[in-house]
Amino acid sequence: MKCSVVVFPGSNCDSDCFHSIRDVMSQPVEYVWHKETTLPPCDLVILPGGFSYGDYLRTGGIARFSPVMREVARHAKTGRAVIGICNGFQILLESGLLPGAMLRNRSLSFRCEYVSLRVENSGTMFTKNFKKGEVVKIPIAHGEGNYFCDEKTLAGLLAGNQVVFRYVTPNGAALDSANPNGSADNIAGIINGKGNVLGMMPHPERAAETILGSQDGKKIWESLLECLK
């Protein structure tokens, strides 16, 4: 599984993702600077977390115009895998590769903590190693993860089984009290209709080793590895 980690000015989870793929998964990975106009041949593109362009204007709103994003869109169009984590998810939304937009967290606080997520769709290339309905522990760290879309878009996401992760209580109930940011329908992660572009606010790369407190995020890399090798 050849991976590319895109680096924008202000990315700060790029080396975490790189480490996760190279050292935990023992897979080939390289950094790709956002100014590049080509991607190296790869199976998976990772848009990492951080604060691309200092979150100026809107989160991800300027990064979407980075030259490499044209290639990321092309990569996605050919059915190859893209994962956007946190700021990467915001960039996918701004670039239209996933529907919806992010608002400020309902609490206006930056939330940095472990959350419980329920795996709603275990039929994707990103989640096949989870059980449907499984509750996993993966951390979030964001100030703008309040997922918004209009009702028609939400109905489409639900009908297409495109909600992949929801914020839940530790025993798996999607209550408002388990929603850390006010996201519509407790949405933590969604996938495109084709099933090859995933965006999620929680950070699987920060939960891929026991020393980090959870290995639940590693299952995403393992699922991808089985599908993409």
**Rounded Cα gap, residues 210 and 225, in angstroms:** 20
* Residue 19 among the catalytic residues: no
Out of 105, 121, 127, 192, name the contact with other proteins by CB under 8 A.
105
Q: Which stretch binds other proteins (CB under 8 A): 20-28, 39-47, 74-82, 147-155?
A: 147-155
By CB atoms closer than 10 A (0-12, 13-18, 19+), residue 152 is exposed
Out of 13, 42, 101, 140, name the contact with other proteins by CB under 8 A.
101
**b/e sequence 13-46, b meaning 16+ C-beta within 10 Å:** bbebbbbbbeebbebebebbebebeebeebbbbb
Size of the site for other proteins (CB under 8 A): 21
Candidates 72, 74, 52; CA nearest to 63 is 52
Out of 52, 87, 95, 146, name the contact with other proteins by CB under 8 A.
146
Candidates 135, 106, 145, 100; CA nearest to 216 is 135
Between residues 29 and 97, which has the closer beta carbon with respect to other proteins? 97
Q: What residues between 157 and 196 interact with other proteins by CB under 8 A?
A: 182
**Rounded Cα gap, residues 90 and 101, in angstroms:** 7
* Residue 86 among the catalytic residues: yes
Name the amino acid, one letter, at 62: I
Which one is catalytic: 71, 86, 94, 144? 86
Residue with tokens 């809107």: 58
Out of 108, 113, 152, 171, name the contact with other proteins by CB under 8 A.
108
Residue with tokens 């084709």: 194
Between residues 84 and 100, which has the closer beta carbon with respect to other proteins? 100
Out of 73, 103, 174, 228, name the contact with other proteins by CB under 8 A.
103
* 222: three-class secondary structure by DSSP: helix
Counting contacts by CB under 8 A, is residue 152 touching other proteins?
Answer: no
Out of 148, 156, 161, 209, name the contact with other proteins by CB under 8 A.
148
Between residues 70 and 104, which has the closer beta carbon with respect to other proteins? 104
CA distances from residue 125 to 109, 113, 226 in whole angstroms, order as listed: 33, 26, 8
Counting contacts by CB under 8 A, is residue 104 touching other proteins?
Answer: yes
Between residues 172 and 182, which has the closer beta carbon with respect to other proteins? 182
* Residue 94 among the catalytic residues: no
Backbone φ and ψ of 70, nearest 5°: -65, -40
Counting contacts by CB under 8 A, is residue 110 touching other proteins?
Answer: no
* 221: three-class secondary structure by DSSP: helix
Query: Which residues are designated catalytic?
Result: 86, 203, 205
Residues engaged in binding other proteins (CB under 8 A): 57-58, 61-62, 65, 93-94, 99-101, 103-108, 146, 148-150, 182
